[in-house]
Structures are given as C-alpha cells and as structure tokens.
Amino acid sequence: MDNNNHTNQPHLQEQRRQLRKESTPAEVMLWKMLKNNQVEGVRFRRQFSVDNYILDFYCPQVRLAIELDGEVHNQAGAAYSDEERTLYLKERFNIKVIRFENSEVFDYPERVVEEIREELLRRLRATSSMNRGGV
C-alpha cells in the first residue's frame, strides 16, 4: 500500500509543528540520539503523521515508530487508546510501534537505543530479504 497519501497531512501540519516546539525533555534527549542518521544510518522524523495519528519518531525506510509514554499515558483509557492505535498502524500500514516510558530514556538511554537498533536491524533484514524474493 502506498503510504504517501496518508502521511503528514496538511491539516495536521500546525499541530506537528507545535508538538516539535513543545517537545518533552525525554523527546529532546532521544532525538539527540536518533537525529542525523546516528542509529544504523537510517533517518528518523519527529512528530510525523500517518493518517490522523502523530508519531513521536518515525523511520519511513523500515516503517518503525517510536513512542514515548509520559504521565498522560497513565490516565484511564490511555492504554487502550495506545493499543488501538498500535494495532491500526500495524494492520493498515505494517508499521511497528515500540514504546518506552520517559523514565527509561533518562535512566537507561543506552538500552533504549540498543532496543531501537535491534528492531531496526530486524526490519532492515526483513526488507532486504523481501527485495531478494525471500520471505
């Protein structure tokens, strides 16, 4: 499926811009580790939208989204909403979403980046295998 018709819709542009301006400290810290192709040479985007969902970080090359969960995610119904969104992105666009608590970014930054790296490598291998006619 062509994702280009579903990404970064103009009606969400201002909201994406505002979210970038008002990044949480955890988002700022993780962005410093992801930007400029620092992890496996792939490019991540900040506050990237797919349909009506705005993802904290997204790597279009391998369809990998990174979401950071702060206090708002502890509210009633937030976990269900997150699960629903994750399932929708996976089923509709084959986007893998991995989630981290803000505290994990501060307390274990190397581990967070390593988990991201491992998933990137899995998805890069899968993409490479599919391009060669594999499974």
Q: What residue segments make up the domains of the chain, in order of their start?
A: 4-131
Element spanning 54, H or E: strand 53-59
CATH class of segment(s) 4-131:
alpha beta
DSSP structural state of residue 44: P
Give whole-number Cα distances, 72 to 24, 53, 75, in Å: 12, 16, 6
**pLDDT, position 1:** 44
For residue 36, how many C-alpha atoms fall within 13 Å in the half-sphere facing its CB?
A: 2
**pLDDT, position 43:** 96
DSSP structural state of residue 7: B
The total of other beta-carbon atoms located within 10 Å of residue 117's CB is: 13
Give pLDDT tens digits for 64-116.
999 999 865 455 555 668 889 999 999 999 999 999 999 999 999 999 999 99
Cα 39 from Cα 23, distance rounded (Å)? 21
DSSP structural state of residue 134: -
**pLDDT, position 39:** 93
Cα 103 from Cα 109, distance rounded (Å)? 9
- 3-class DSSP state for residue 40? coil
Cα 40 from Cα 121, distance rounded (Å)? 8
Length reported for the chain: 135
Give pLDDT tens digits for 4-62.
578 877 778 888 888 888 899 999 999 999 999 999 999 999 999 999 899 999 999 99
Cα 86 from Cα 56, distance rounded (Å)? 13
